[in-house]
Amino acid sequence: MARSWTLPDATVLTDPEALEPYRRDESHVQGELPLAVALPRGPAALKELVRLAKAEGFGLVPRGAGTGKAGGCVPADRRAVVVDFSAWRGEIRLSPQDLCLSAPASAPLREVKAAASTEGLFYPPDPNSWESCALGGTLATNAGGPNACKYGMTRHWVLSVDALLEDGEIHTFGISSVKANAGPALGQLLIGSEGIFGFILGATLRLTPLPREHATLLLPVARWEDLLDLPGRLAASGYLPSAFEFFDPAVLAELRAHGPEEARRLPGEALAILEFDDRGCTSSAFLEGLMDLLGPVAEHLEIASDARQRAGIWAVRRMTSSFLKERHPKKVSEDIVVPRSRLREFFAGLERLAIPSVTYGHLGDGNLHVNLLGAGEADPAKLEGQLLDLFRLALSLGGTLSGEHGIGLSKRDAFLALSDPGQIQALRALKRALDPSGIFNPGKVI
């Protein structure tokens, strides 16, 4: 069927060899082979795809850069066409007066961040994949990252969204201002929707002045449990880091033994990376206050003395996920969240469950990457049970089963099993209202 299509302003791939890579993203999930992959260069191709999908009854699976970690951009079944936005050219337009910029979904996130900084402005969302992911993927997953600890998630930085919906038309939700209250914010429904409500074509993003100072600290500890109260203590005392990341002893040991040069020099039994970007955060008054607050745990604190050292520390943190995946290709990486105040209870619970795992991640906001490195060798039923136990633990502490990666294919069954049925019903009603033909990313999330 796919071979007979002609799409305006698009490339269509149907050769099975060319389709094969589209079965994967950066999660452990393998999807089905799509009918075809379309690479639109403009809206005419999308409109035609929507018409064809409705007429012929196949699904449309949006794909950005394919760095997702939930199997969201891979086909759930064989009656799907992947829509790869990477060939869509578009301009990033900056409006310093309005403190915003507009960009197409295909824009690499690194270009969006760089464009803002040319005018001394800052777009904070910084998933650790920010050098490789596309803006559209970050909008559709409501991406987080280290900075979420202070600046929040992607959705907090979106003023308006352009989307092509099931009616085949392009709609703009929102305006270029933080003040817009004419009814509920429909654009926010598309942020984090993982492609199930329609195609995101672009967005207008809120910006803030670029921080001019950074204090980047390495906090090595002998007993990693000593780190667990710190995020809550800092937040409650008015010291809000722009990032508070951590490696447990097992992850740190792997990095030190097999990682790049910078990783081999990392100190401690376990390690936290703290960064502050408030004005005055490099002053001795600020740092002395911080040391007093941290107390004896800060005995071996190191401060990055220049931009090169800071870049080296962040390079190690940002490569941790890919590094572990290279060493353990079949690992399963989760991204549960618990409130900062319940971190200690979470780790006590994880120990009781005896799930063989290592953990690193965004300690500052309670978003932890629990990695089951041996998942590939585990009995699938046992693995599923362990993941359900992990999610139940997070939920029992007032947390959630995903802080940033989303549900996609990988967590769909668990999401359906563990969520409030009323919530699932409401989501399905929204799906029916926005996508009555059920063409957008079928088999995902709900």
Ligand X SMILES: Cc1cc2nc3c(=O)[nH]c(=O)nc-3n(C[C@H](O)[C@H](O)[C@H](O)COP(=O)(O)OP(=O)(O)OC[C@H]3O[C@@H](n4cnc5c(N)ncnc54)[C@H](O)[C@@H]3O)c2cc1C
Residue ranges binding ligand X (CB under 6 A): 25-26, 61-69, 72-73, 85, 105, 127-129, 133-134, 136-138, 140-141, 143-145, 194-195, 199-200, 321-322, 404-405, 408, 441
Q: How far is the CB of 195 from ligand X (least distance, A)?
A: 3
Angle between helices 380-396 and 343-353 (to 10 degrees): 150
Residue whose pair of structure tokens reads 């769909």 in the numeric block: 412
Nearest to 70 by CA among 427, 310, 407: 407
Q: How far is the CB of 113 from ligand X (least distance, A)?
A: 13
Q: How far is the CB of 285 from ligand X (least distance, A)?
A: 32
d(CA 132, CA 49): 27
Tokens of 303: 């401060």
Q: State which residue, 67 or 357, has the beta carbon closest to ligand X.
A: 67
Q: How far is the CB of 385 from ligand X (least distance, A)?
A: 25
> Taking CA 149 as the corner, what is the angle to CA 153 and CA 312, rounded to the nearest 5 degrees?
105
Q: State which residue, 216 or 410, has the beta carbon closest to ligand X.
A: 410
d(CA 108, CA 356): 36
Q: How far is the CB of 16 from ligand X (least distance, A)?
A: 21
Q: What are phi and psi of 209, to 5 degrees?
A: -55, 140
Q: State which residue, 81 or 294, has the beta carbon closest to ligand X.
A: 81
Q: State which residue, 216 or 333, has the beta carbon closest to ligand X.
A: 333
Q: Taking a C-beta distance cutoff of 8 angstroms, is the pair 69, 25 a contact?
A: yes
Q: State which residue, 200 or 234, has the beta carbon closest to ligand X.
A: 200
Q: How far is the CB of 268 from ligand X (least distance, A)?
A: 22
Residue closest to ligand X, measured at CB:
137
Q: How far is the CB of 275 from ligand X (least distance, A)?
A: 14
Q: State which residue, 320 or 357, has the beta carbon closest to ligand X.
A: 320
Q: How far is the CB of 376 from ligand X (least distance, A)?
A: 18
Q: State which residue, 25 or 334, has the beta carbon closest to ligand X.
A: 25
Q: Taking a C-beta distance cutoff of 8 angstroms, is the pair 231, 285 a contact?
A: no
Q: State which residue, 125 or 349, has the beta carbon closest to ligand X.
A: 125
